[in-house]
């Protein structure tokens, strides 16, 4: 059976609707992917803060700057591209819609998260393992030692 053409199954490009315009981010080149991996793994440091965003987004980054895209949208778009590169499209879509939150990333990381309200409720309903331990006072301990010594 022949393999399907890459164009038949490749992921759709990230398209950011911002301020009535759409910005389509091109697929990463091999070189950009290698450099980003080195940066993320701590092996390469870029002096220019925007260099990583240009690697992620290509000319789209510069077009967004030229168009005056607000900082929040710029940051979220760059972060979404990074999450798409490292964790996949589903996580990237959650980050675009919710920001970088534990809840947005948890499904991709296989972790379970709770909101602060949920964790407070669950903590009050169920005692923690540490609270179920019983301890004996020094007075009780001396009684046990005395009982052992009399045998």
Q: Where are the domains of the chain?
A: 9-113
Residues 105/83, Cβ–Cβ less than 8 Å: yes
Residues 103/111, Cβ–Cβ less than 8 Å: no
- pLDDT on residue 137: 47
**Beta strand segments in the chain, E:** 14-18, 21-25
- pLDDT on residue 51: 86
**Beta strand segments in 26-115, E:** none
- Taking the CB of residue 51, how many other CB atoms lie within 10 A of it? 14
CA gap 2, 146 in Å, rounded: 83
- pLDDT on residue 110: 60
Judged against a pLDDT cut of 70, whether residue 147 lies above it is answered with no
Average pLDDT, the chain: 76
Which range, of 28-42, 90-104, 113-127, averages the lowest pLDDT? 113-127
Q: What is the mean pLDDT of residues 96-125?
A: 56
Q: What is the mean pLDDT of residues 122-148?
A: 46
Judged against a pLDDT cut of 50, whether residue 85 lies above it is answered with yes
Q: Most confidently modeled of 16-25, 49-58, 140-149?
A: 16-25
- pLDDT on residue 104: 60
Q: Quick one: how many helices (H) and strands (E) in the chain?
A: 9, 2
């Amino acid at each position: 059976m022949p393999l399907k053409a890459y164009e038949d199954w490749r992921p759709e490009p990230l398209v950011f609707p911002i301020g009535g315009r759409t910005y389509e981010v091109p697929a990463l080149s091999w070189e950009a992917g290698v450099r980003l991996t080195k940066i993320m793994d701590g092996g390469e440091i870029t002096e220019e803060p925007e260099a990583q965003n240009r690697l992620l987004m290509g000319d789209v980054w510069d077009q967004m700057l030229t168009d005056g895209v607000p900082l929040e949208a710029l940051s979220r778009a760059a972060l979404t591209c990074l999450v798409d590169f490292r964790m996949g499209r589903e996580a990237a879509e959650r980050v675009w819609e919710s920001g970088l939150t534990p809840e947005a990333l948890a499904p991709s990381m296989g972790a379970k998260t709770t909101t602060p309200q949920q964790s407070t409720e669950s903590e009050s309903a169920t005692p923690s393992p540490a609270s179920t331990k019983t301890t004996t006072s020094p007075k009780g301990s001396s009684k046990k030692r005395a009982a052992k010594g009399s045998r």
